[in-house]
Structures are given as structure tokens and as C-alpha cells.
Structure 1
Amino acid sequence: MIKPEFDPVALATPFFILTIILEIVLARFRKADARYEAKDTAVSLAMGLGSSVAGVITAGVVFAATIWVYEHRLFTIPMTAIWAWVLIFLLEDLTYYWFHRLSHERRFWWVAHVNHHSSQHYNLSTALRQTWTGGVAGTWALWLPLAFFGFPPAMIAIQKGISLVYQYWIHTEAIRRMPRWFEAIFNTPSHHRVHHARNPVYLDRNYAGILIVWDRLFGTFQAELDAEPCRYGLVKNLGTFNILRVAFHEWIATFQDVVRHPRYALGYIFGPPGWSHDGSRETSAMIKARALSPAGAAGSDRSPAGPRESHA
């Protein structure tokens, strides 16, 4: 089967809109812990709309590549088998983990992901603040091995949609903790708040899509600490609601770095975000090390440049 019978994201879109409105109303009457700012929410919604348009533009290339790989598949996996859905759930979620981790640890892919972390608020609308340039960055290629193994393209698309729909509800402060067993297995609002936080202790942690077990397995898990409230956004926030700057600022910054220092182009493109040839900026590892040092604890949130900062 080539085309999916249904699109989980399209079906869930009315739910997204209704729950955002509900969260705003509950917050207004102090019935839910949620913080909204009109301009910030407008940017998130506009980024979500732009991401959908960009996805349509690049869909042909992604579709053609997936079909070509599937035509050269190793096996033929039936969409009607329950075991196949269990297997693709696990493999797609593992793929998402590595895609998400790569998008934080290598600048070329961070430039297409940074938009999602640019809001200083954490609410359901933040989930819709998606990239316009993910197709250009080519991270979609990480899912091609699933087609090579024999999963039908429609099956892959459906499972990716299910993952995206699941991740919507974890973008909230209104839910503090889920039951302990659920927190141990699944990604939750608490785990994902850590992922969006700019506190040094929280940087580049909890990459999970649906299952938090991948972070526990690969050493990237960090629990939310009651003594360390999450501060959201970038290490140095943009300070603007200009939609074009939100969408393209890190692409521009990368281009500028390459033009200024062509000798170190590969480092500025594929090094970790915050890398610089002269050490004048800080990567996440450097920020964490400084924050953990006796002299750095007091000023751990003030870095000259880091992985969640615009260099433009």
C-alpha cells in the first residue's frame, strides 16, 4: 500500500485548536497552570501553518525517495499484521529519538529545529511551532531504512502521524505528573518540559517521541527537578516576534559564520551548536561543565553563546 488511508495529524487538527482554546480559557479563570502571550501564540500558529505548506512543497521528493527505497526492500511486511504495527511502533519511535538527538547535537540539523524551542512559553500552542526547513535539512532520510526493511510507505506515514499527535499533549504545564509507571515508560509533560528548558542541567535531554525508555537506555534522561523550575526558550532568546527571523535566523547565522571563517566551514556546519574555532562560544557540554563547577553555579544561565542561541 502506497498512500495512507487516513492522516492522524489532519484528523487531530480540530482537537488541537479546541484544546488550545480550552487551555487559554482555563488559564484565564485560574483553573489551569498555563501562560499565553498573544504575539507568541500567533507566531506558533503561523509556524505551524507554514510548516504544513513547506511539507506539501517537499512532499514529492520525500515520497519519491521512499517509494524508490521500498521498491528495493528486503522483505514485504503486511499492514494487516498486528506484529508489524508493534514492530514499526518501536522502530519508528527509535528513529525519532535519533532524529531528535541529531537535531540538537549537530548544527546543520539544529538550524531546522531551533524554531520549535524559540518560545519562552510552554503551552499547547508551542507544539505547533514547527520548522519550515526540515525538508531542506533532509532529516526525513532517517526514516528510509524502514521502507528498505519492507514497511509500506503508508504504514510509515501513519505511525509518524501517530507520534506527532501523541507529542502534542505533552506541551503543557497544566499537567504536573502522570502515574509513576507511566512516567517510567512514556514521554510526559514533565519529561518534555525538561527538553524545552534552557537551564544548564536540562540542556539536550529527553529526546523521546512516545517512549522515554530510549533516553533512559542511551543516557540522555533527566527528571524534572522540583528545586529547579524550567526556564524556557533559547540560551539567549531572540527578543522578537518577527516570523521570518524565528524561521530563518539560525540558517542566516550559519551562513555568516561560514563566510567569515571558510577554513572552519565544516565545524560551523556540522559541529555541535555553539561550536567555534576559537572557543569564544559555548556548546551544551561546556555550559553544563561551567554550571557544575564551584565558580559557575551562580551564573550558569549567562553564556556568551550556546546551542540554543541565535548567532545572527
Structure 2
Amino acid sequence: MNWTAAFNSVYVDSGLASLVNRLPAWLAMDERQLVFMLATPVFIGVFAWEYFKIRHNPRLVDGKESVRNFMLGAGYQTTELLFAGLIAFPVYALAYHHRLWDIPLTPLTAVLLWVLTDFCFYWMHRSSHRVRWLWAAHVTHHSSERMNFSTAMRQNATNIFNGGWLFYVPLALLGFNPVWIGVCYALSLVYQFFIHTTLIGRLHPAIEYVLNTPNHHRVHHGRNPAYIDTNYGGVFIIFDRLFGTFATERADQPIQYGITRPIGGDGLLISWLHEYRDMFRDMARSGPLSQRLGHLWMPPDWERESSTDSSSAAHPEETRQIKPSRPE
């Protein structure tokens, strides 16, 4: 396969060739980051507005933690900017090169792509809670015990290496241009920034039924047993309703944010890497290779049935959400 031709095909077909020709190829291919960079000043401004409203309530915001959250977000954006073009783009280009159909961008196909992108996000997000390798990156986002706009920026710099982006590759294989897939994904994350707040209560029932709202997303961030592993939607909440993962806040269960046990530090490296450390530690325990490797793809709360190793006292639950298994 001629990768140069594939690269040109993606960008010429997208209609953005005149823009990307002005940028280095390795930078231009990740159009998502262009959206994020444009949105970041807005994020900072909106958080500043929220901060001055809730700054006297330490349960809702902590200035030092908020600065760390934005630093975590900057680390995520940096690795995405540097490595997405090298890691993800060849796969998208290959899929698009062998696409089943040519799907032009029209108002109708744009709406369809928007919905399908959120459908892929739902399964990527759900898998990020139920597959430990993916959870090792996603746990960073959930490890704060506060819910505010800066929490949305709390991301893991290792995301690009974990492969969550593979969930969107089928859209390129169908015939959607990867540039527009990336734009939809980025705009979805921009939307999701605004649902990380306690200042907005319940919205109109029609909105609450279709869209993911601050009310629904606060539940998703709860560590209460009734709330863990629910409300995975990005823009829409309808997929949670369809696939049985929807939950609403209960009067007898005030939301407690965060993960079930603290991670033992607040440094950037600890926030990014603590679950990898625990996962590989569990894999290093003696036992059949198949079970040791199972720590990569089994749920975060999975433990080996036959393990009698006394070191299992240092359970991986120490740094992640726990919920008893249930039918999926």
C-alpha cells in the first residue's frame, strides 16, 4: 500500500487539503488536536467562571488540584499531538483505503456520522471500565473526588498507546473520511467538557431522556455501588437506555465522587501510571500464564479463581472502582 497516496486521499477527500498542506504531515493528520487547542481557552474561561462561584466549597473545588487537572490534560494533548499521527493514522488510512463505500459529507451523512461516532464512544467508554488494560488509562479521569469543569481535563497521557481509538476504525472502513471522524470525536469531547459540573441541575425531561447531561454524568462519576459502571454515553444517553447501563441519582444515595480507594499520591506520574503498576504487579504473581495474562483483558475487579498467593492481599481494588459482577 502507498501510504503517501493514502494520506493524500484522506485529506483531499475531506476537503481540508488546503489547510493541511500548510502544516507538517505528522501534525496535520490529527485534526482532533486542532479542535482541542482552539477550545482550550474556552475551557479555561468557563472553569474560571465556575471557580469563582464554588471556590469557598472545598468539597467541590480545590485550586491546586484544578491546576493539576489542567496539567494532566496538557500531557494528554501533547502525547496525542506527537504520536496519534504515527500510531493511529496508518490504521485509519488502511481502513479508508479499503472502504466499502464512498460516503460524501452531506447534512444527512454528517448527522449519521455524529450518531455513529457517539455509538462507538459508548462501547469504547464501556470497555474502558470493563477491560483493565483500557481502565489503566481511564482511571485517571475518575480518580478525583470532586466534580467541576477542571475534572474534564483530567486525562491520561498514555491514552494514545492503549488503543481505544480502534473502536472508531470501522467508521473509516464503512467509508467515512477519517478527518471527519476525528472532528466528530473532538467535538463530542468538547460537549462532554460542559457536563462536568455541579452548577447545572436537571434539565427538561425531553433533554434528559435523549442527551447526556450534567445530571447523568455526575452519576457516572459516582463511586457508590449503585452508580459504578453506568451512564457511559458521550453526547447521547439513549445507548445506555438501550443497552441497560442507564442509572439515575437516587435520593438515598448522594453521589460520592472518585474511585473506591485513594491512589496514594497526587503527582502527575502517579496519576498516569499507578494502575499499570498494579496491573503488572498482579500479572507477576505466580500462576498459569493464561490467568496471568487475563489481568490485561478481564474487568478491573477480576481476580484469579485459583490464586492462593499470599501477595494477593495487595488487591488491585486499592486504586479503582469496584462493583460486583452482573449480567451485561
Do the two structures share a fold, i.e. TM-score over 0.5?
Answer: yes
1:9 counterpart letter in structure 2: F
- The equivalent residue for 1:45 is 70
Partner SS state of residue 226, structure 2: helix
Which whole-Å CA distance do the structure 2 matches of 1:306 and 1:119 have between them?
12
The superposition leaves residues 171-205 of structure 1 with CA deviations (integer Å, 9 ceiling, x where unpaired) of 00011111111000000001000110000000100
Cα pair 1:73 1:150 within 8 Å, conserved: yes
1:249 counterpart letter in structure 2: H
- Equivalent residue runs for 1:142-291 within 5 Å: 142-263=167-288, 264-278=291-305
CA displacement at 1:29 relative to structure 2: 7.0
- The equivalent residue for 1:64 is 90
Name the CA shift for 1:304/1:113 in 2 (closer, same or farther; >3 Å).
closer
CA displacement at 1:266 relative to structure 2: 2.5
Partner SS state of residue 112, structure 1: helix
- The equivalent residue for 1:292 is none
The superposition leaves residues 227-253 of structure 1 with CA deviations (integer Å, 9 ceiling, x where unpaired) of 311101111122421111111000111
Report the TM-score when normalising by structure 1.
0.86
Does residue 77 in structure 1 map to residue 96 in structure 2?
Answer: no
2:76 counterpart letter in structure 1: S
Partner SS state of residue 284, structure 2: helix
- The equivalent residue for 1:293 is none
2:138 counterpart letter in structure 1: H
Percent identity of equivalent pairs? 38
Which whole-Å CA distance do the structure 1 matches of 2:225 and 2:210 have between them?
25
Name the CA shift for 1:44/1:267 in 2 (closer, same or farther; >3 Å).
same
- The equivalent residue for 1:297 is none
| Range 210-219 or range 257-266, more displaced | 257-266
The superposition leaves residues 3-48 of structure 1 with CA deviations (integer Å, 9 ceiling, x where unpaired) of 6567432222111000111101122478xx9821123212211110
CA displacement at 1:148 relative to structure 2: 0.5
Cα pair 1:147 1:153 within 8 Å, conserved: yes
Does residue 308 in structure 1 map to residue 303 in structure 2?
Answer: no
Cα pair 2:194 2:214 within 8 Å, conserved: yes
Name the CA shift for 1:201/1:215 in 2 (closer, same or farther; >3 Å).
same
- The equivalent residue for 1:296 is none
- The equivalent residue for 1:291 is none
Which whole-Å CA distance do the structure 2 matches of 1:134 and 1:262 have between them?
29
Does residue 121 in structure 1 map to residue 153 in structure 2?
Answer: no
Which whole-Å CA distance do the structure 1 matches of 2:173 and 2:81 have between them?
23
Which whole-Å CA distance do the structure 2 matches of 1:34 and 1:19 have between them?
19
Cα pair 1:97 1:208 within 8 Å, conserved: yes
Unmatched tracts of structure 2, length 5 or more: 1-9, 20-30, 308-315, 323-328
Cα pair 2:195 2:217 within 8 Å, conserved: yes
- The equivalent residue for 1:18 is 45
Q: Which of the numbers 55, 79, 82 marks the counterpart of 1:54?
A: 79
Name the CA shift for 1:246/1:203 in 2 (closer, same or farther; >3 Å).
same
Which whole-Å CA distance do the structure 2 matches of 1:141 and 1:175 have between them?
33
Please give the root-mean-square deviation of Cα atoms over the aligned residues, in Å: 2.1
Which whole-Å CA distance do the structure 1 matches of 2:287 and 2:149 have between them?
41
Cα pair 1:27 1:34 within 8 Å, conserved: no
The superposition leaves residues 30-74 of structure 1 with CA deviations (integer Å, 9 ceiling, x where unpaired) of 8xx982112321221111000011102321221121112111111
Name the CA shift for 1:28/1:129 in 2 (closer, same or farther; >3 Å).
closer
Does residue 9 in structure 1 map to residue 36 in structure 2?
Answer: yes
Report the TM-score when normalising by structure 2.
0.82
- What is the number of residues matched between the two proteins? 284
Does residue 87 in structure 1 map to residue 87 in structure 2?
Answer: no
Which whole-Å CA distance do the structure 2 matches of 1:276 and 1:29 have between them?
42
Which whole-Å CA distance do the structure 2 matches of 1:196 and 1:279 have between them?
32
Unmatched tracts of structure 1, length 5 or more: 281-302
1:69 counterpart letter in structure 2: A
Which whole-Å CA distance do the structure 1 matches of 2:270 and 2:320 have between them?
17
The superposition leaves residues 189-226 of structure 1 with CA deviations (integer Å, 9 ceiling, x where unpaired) of 01000110000000100000001000000000001123
2:185 counterpart letter in structure 1: K
